Structure 1
């Protein structure tokens, strides 16, 4: 199935049913009075997160979604039936925006989450409700209000703990295939990865995290050059970025430090939050250099970048250094989770005690 992470749809909630104008007509009952019932409410439209889905491809050809309208009211004070709500299944991680106003409606981050995207119309009022001491035979009723109509822009943002970034052919696909069961396409030409790949890395019993590989970034990616711009959003929810660098490029004219700085600049252009996200440097293709050459290249790169963060050296092909990197990532993520849990505990303790809770 082709990976699709963006889709535009139109949702139309059901209109409320018309109120009824009716008067009781039965033998031996004079002036029975008004008995027109109310209409039914229109059906609303909800998006529901489904963990079994991993793409928005189903919405490529199914653009219009309508909920059922409410039924009209009937005589004998019978209320019209309510229109059925429409529930649309979407993948976990879907972000929803109003296309016209660019308002963020919400995000569905967990299986079973529901998001109201179009509210059904309110029911019309029957003439029985207008009866009063001064208006014994009302002939007025109200129509139901129309349901909300919206154009929605949906974006699927993959939920991963760690995101891989780097230039094309830096070895991101090779790394994710080595440390997880993901099997992305690997070849010796640029932009081998056309769609994001997710892999689950297990480092022991009940110790695992999700890693995401996106297409390679090049200069101008934030303005739409290359493929990476379409997938930079998948890095927004990650906790940590791994910046892969080819430490042994075939073209000696390539300056690895310039490439690192260039990608960092693209991240900042795309999003201020993405620009300051924690980033580790991973020097790949270590196996192509002897120890002395590797040490020389490493020292020069770190000096040129004035790099202060963590640095790891690996060979994505042979697996050298990948185990140590994965364990370090796991420990870092567990520490972040412990800090978040501590923050939640502190917030709960700071709340004033409510005897009614």
Structure 2
């Protein structure tokens, strides 16, 4: 049966996206590994969303004090898994920026999330035919999606339990030179039980149970202690409803680190400083906007107005000091203006007018 159009788009998109843990996942071992990939629908497995996406993205932080040492804490990346802002990613970037030498910077880069993809599959490489969460690198998953897509274009669903075929993933090389080749198994595949899709493990629950166990604060404390920085505080929920998420870390006993001298006070202080800085920036921006909106005053006109005001005040003062009424001829004469002022004030006004020219 061919894929429905929406799911086919997702498979094609996944092929492009991924062409570039721990727990109980199964990873391909050295040599050949034979699997039957299973693609349950939302009607066959309650954990599959209405979109039909039968795989799950996984990101995991391995926080170590030494590059070759054992991890102090292993925790999921809520950005990769739940598309939620990650305080851990922020703290790791802060640590990298504060690194004083290349060795420290290399260690802090190792804390970044290691990303992979989970699928439900039957593993024929072992002694049992159980359904397992198969963990693949992004590139290998992209190759599997490409294979599914190519066969679907030819009218064949290789994930069908009854009529599908097995795939072979061959692992060669070590470390950075590790290579995974994907191909369809040429040997005939035996049909699987019709109800096997309803028995596929819930990949989302698996990720939540194994990688979101309330140890996010412990991871942040480790980062703070090793890198010597003030880490951001955990705020807000992450993940779907009913799943234990990073929020649980705030009340978890696992949040403590043996011998750690860093606590939440540094994170709280850093967050308060950040908010204060943001408020100051907003106030400065508002003041700048108000100043920009105010009309621009002509300095020359303002100075002239000031001189005129002073002249009028002097004339009013002279009029008040005059005890006798002015002669009729004088009343008909225009105001003497600046000439009626004392010589010293006339010189000062004239000097100011000269400066304005």
Would you call these one fold, judging by a TM-score over 0.5? no
TM-score by length of 1: 0.19
Higher relative contact order (CA 8 A, sep 6+): 2
Q: Which is helix-richer, 1 or 2?
A: 2
State TM-score, norm by structure 2: 0.19
Q: Greater strand percent: which structure?
A: 1
